[in-house]
């Protein structure tokens, strides 16, 4: 039976366990709360807070997830008190002397971790913000300062934004959670980079993956189990196409849950695995759910629940529920909900999930034949601005404008607008990478474009300083250098028109205004003074003044265009 308590202003969940005591302190902050330009800051805080423990005789750990960061320890009561008290003390006085060393440790950890099989799903669904953050490297580490970390801790690591759980008989004596006052921080609102669903995109050649966002409820959890059984039976047992088939149910604090499924594939079996995977989803969409499978999954969930309740393994999830403002349910309440699930409930979850689905196809395979729309990997249009030709590929151009930057070639257009920019990666040699909130990127190597360094300087002046991410210096051999151009470097100018041509045209228009305007005025005066050929004079006057007015309007528009560029 879970008891709700309060320890030093921190909501606390206490439940008995048959094994050793274990406890955890969770905060409602994770990767989804980090801006891309500060990616890695929560993980860095976690590492610094744990530094003082070094090599301990007891098992402890910290973890930074998508929505939560928590510190966990299993052992004797006295050790748990030492650990949790030390975590709180460490958060209030992070060892900043360790800052650069811990940054290097995190970089090494990331380098060894590699990319997850399903990371691309988060990026393509959400872009470079909130729930898309797990797909990105910890780019923000380099520029983080002690003041940045202190401000982050003061905002997120407070007693109102924390929950303590303890699997044991009582709260250990001497436990003191010395955390500052703050506010409960709700989970971020998930963004979307998908204009249409269901959608697909190309992924690694050795895996098919899929996810969907559905309302969070028990039937959705059961559906993931039913889906895994169906995929396993089709792709491994019956056809022998896959070895690893698995699904996952990940509840979120906003009342939704992410369902994920994947199956591995040999390169020569890509099409067959994709076809089998899509066939299973099509059956789900049609409502073909085997009641026996639902029963089997519900029974397995019951067994898992009983074991988790016995050893206190449900407490972390209950703590996360409490942080999200959701009720803390007893095992009996969860069992009652499981018992009420029907095959129709599971089938409804499946229909909703497939309609919202994002499919990662292996290699260059497609899924439009199955009713999936290709997720956008380019932008609908370029920004207006000055165009700069590539020194290597004349058909490729960089457009820099007041509102953003675009890379244009015959196949695609990629655009990042300054008001929807998540970060700008800044290399000391002048290279820049603009990352849009939708995940679209524009990379600029100033050595490969005419007037490249001047363009970079102009773009830097239009980017908010907090979006800049300092990148380490590159080896000179990795800085690209263009092949000698076949002809002179074209001067910059609005797309398809050089500055020189525009200025020449402007001069011509001004001359037309002066000549036609003067002629019109002279002929008008003459037609008033002399009565002979008055009609002819009036006609020439109207025609000349009309030409002058048209040329004047053209000169006005060209002047504005030149000033904008």
Q: Binning pLDDT at 50, 70 and 90, where does residue 497 land? A: very low
SS3 301: helix
pLDDT at 7 > cutoff 80: yes
Of 375, 394, 408, 385, the residue nearest 192 (C-alpha):
375
In the predicted structure, residue 494 carries a pLDDT above the cut 70: no
Beta bridge partners of 434: 424, 442
What single DSSP character describes residue 402? S
pLDDT at 493 over 60: no
Q: What are phi and psi of 493, to 5 degrees?
A: 180, 170
Looking at residue 169, the DSSP 8-state letter turns out to be: S
User: Of 408, 424, 480, nearest to 456 (Cα)?
Assistant: 424
- Is the predicted pLDDT of residue 182 greater than 60, yes or no? yes
Locate 310 and state its tokens: 């016995």
Nearest CA to 274 out of 263, 285, 283, 288 is that of 263
402-432 burial, b at 16+ Cβ within 10 Å, e below that, comes to: eebbbbbeeeebbbbbbebbbbbbbbeebbb
Q: Which own/partner contact pairs does 444-449 have at CB distance under 8 Å and 24+ positions apart?
A: 444/398, 444/405, 444/407, 445/479, 445/480, 447/391, 447/479, 447/480, 447/481, 447/482, 448/390, 448/391, 448/392, 448/480, 448/482, 449/388, 449/389, 449/390, 449/391, 449/398
Beta partners for 304? none
Mean of pLDDT values over 522-532? 66
At residue 223, does pLDDT exceed 70?
A: yes
Please write the tens of the pLDDT for every residue from 394-418: 889 999 999 999 999 998 999 999 9
The separation between the first and the last C-alpha atoms of the chain, rounded to the nearest angstrom, is 69
The pLDDT value recorded for residue 443 is 97
CA–CA distances in Å: residue 98 to residues 51, 145, 468: 9, 12, 24
DSSP state, residue 143 = T
State the pTM of this model: 0.83
Structural element, H or E, at residue 378: none
Q: Which residues contact 331 (CB under 8 A, 6 or more apart)?
A: 305, 306, 309, 314
pLDDT for 495 equals 43
How many residues are there in the chain? 565
Token output for 81: 């008190």
Q: Band of the pLDDT at 318, cuts 50, 70, 90?
A: very high
| pLDDT tens-place string over residues 446-466 | 999 989 999 999 999 999 999
List, for residues 370-392, the tens digit of each pLDDT value: 999 999 999 999 999 999 999 98
Q: Among 169-178, 402-411, 493-502, where is mean pLDDT lowest?
A: 493-502
Residue 328 tokens read as 């803390």
Give per-residue pLDDT as tens, 9-30.
999 999 999 888 999 999 999 9
> Would you say residue 531 has pLDDT above 60?
no
Mean pLDDT is lowest, of 101-115, 297-311, 394-408, for: 101-115
Q: How far apart are CA 102 and CA 88, in angstroms?
A: 19
What whole-number distance in Å separates Cα of residue 258 and Cα of residue 50?
30
The helix (H) or strand (E) run that includes residue 370 is: none
Predicted local confidence at residue 516, as pLDDT: 74
CA nearest neighbour of 58 among 80, 85, 81: 80
Higher pLDDT, 260 or 506: 260
Helix (H) or strand (E) holding 150: helix 146-156
Tell me: pLDDT of 359 over 70: yes
Average pLDDT, the chain: 90
CB count in 10 Å sphere of residue 40: 23
């Amino acid at each position: 039976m879970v008891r709700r308590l309060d320890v030093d202003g921190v909501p606390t969940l206490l439940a008995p366990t048959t094994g050793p005591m274990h406890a955890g302190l969770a905060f409602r902050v994770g990767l989804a709360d980090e801006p891309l330009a500060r990616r890695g800051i929560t993980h860095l805080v976690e590492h610094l807070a744990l530094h003082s423990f070094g090599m301990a005789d007891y098992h402890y750990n910290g973890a930074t997830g998508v929505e939560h960061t928590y510190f966990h320890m299993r052992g004797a009561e006295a050790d748990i008190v030492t650990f949790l008290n030390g975590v709180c003390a460490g958060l209030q006085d992070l060892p900043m002397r360790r800052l650069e060393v811990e940054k290097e440790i995190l970089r090494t950890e990331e380098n060894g971790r590699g990319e997850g099989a399903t990371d691309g799903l988060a990026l393509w669904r959400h872009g470079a913000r909130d729930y898309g953050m797990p797909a990105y490297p910890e780019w923000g580490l380099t520029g983080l300062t002690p003041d940045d970390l202190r401000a982050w801790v003061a905002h997120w690591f407070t007693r109102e934004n924390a929950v303590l759980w303890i699997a044991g008989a009582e709260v250990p004596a001497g436990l003191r959670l010395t955390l500052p006052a703050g506010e409960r921080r709700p989970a971020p609102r998930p963004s979307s980079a998908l204009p249409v669903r269901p959608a697909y995109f190309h992924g690694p050649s050795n895996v098919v993956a899929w996810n969907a966002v559905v309302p969070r409820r028990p039937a959705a959890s059961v559906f993931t189990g039913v889906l895994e059984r169906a995929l396993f039976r089709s792709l491994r047992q019956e056809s022998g196409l896959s070895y690893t088939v698995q699904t996952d149910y990940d509840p979120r604090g906003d009342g939704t849950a992410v369902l994920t499924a994947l199956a591995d594939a040999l390169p020569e079996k890509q099409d067959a695995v994709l076809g089998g995977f899509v066939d299973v989803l099509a059956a789900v969409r049609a409502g073909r759910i085997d009641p026996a499978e639902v029963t089997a999954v519900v029974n397995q969930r019951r067994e898992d629940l009983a074991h988790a309740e016995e050893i206190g393994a449900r407490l972390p999830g209950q703590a996360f529920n409490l942080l999200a403002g959701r009720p803390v349910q007893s095992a009996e309440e969860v069992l009652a909900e499981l018992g009420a699930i029907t095959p129709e409930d599971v089938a409804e979850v499946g229909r909703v999930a497939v309609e919202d689905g994002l499919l990662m196809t292996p290699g260059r395979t497609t899924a439009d034949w199955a009713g999936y729309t290709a997720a956008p990997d380019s932008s609908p249009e370029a920004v207006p601005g000055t165009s700069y030709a590539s020194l290597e590929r004349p058909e490729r151009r960089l457009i820099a404008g007041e509102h953003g930057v675009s890379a244009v070639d015959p196949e695609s257009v990629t655009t990042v607008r300054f008001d929807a920019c998540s970060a700008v990666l800044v290399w000391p040699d002048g290279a820049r990478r603009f990352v849009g909130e939708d995940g679209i990127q524009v990379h600029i190597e100033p050595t490969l474009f005419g007037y490249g360094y001047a363009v970079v300087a102009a773009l830097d002046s239009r980017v908010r300083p907090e979006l800049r991410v300092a990148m380490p210096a590159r080896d000179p051999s990795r800085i690209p250098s263009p092949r000698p151009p076949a002809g002179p470097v074209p001067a910059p100018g609005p797309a398809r028109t050089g500055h020189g041509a525009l200025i020449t045209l402007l001069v011509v228009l001004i001359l037309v205004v002066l000549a036609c305007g003067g002629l019109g005025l002279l002929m008008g005066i003459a037609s008033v003074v002399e009565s002979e050929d008055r009609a002819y004079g009036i006609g020439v006057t109207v025609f000349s003044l009309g030409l002058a007015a048209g040329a004047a309007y053209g000169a006005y528009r060209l002047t504005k265009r030149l000033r904008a560029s």
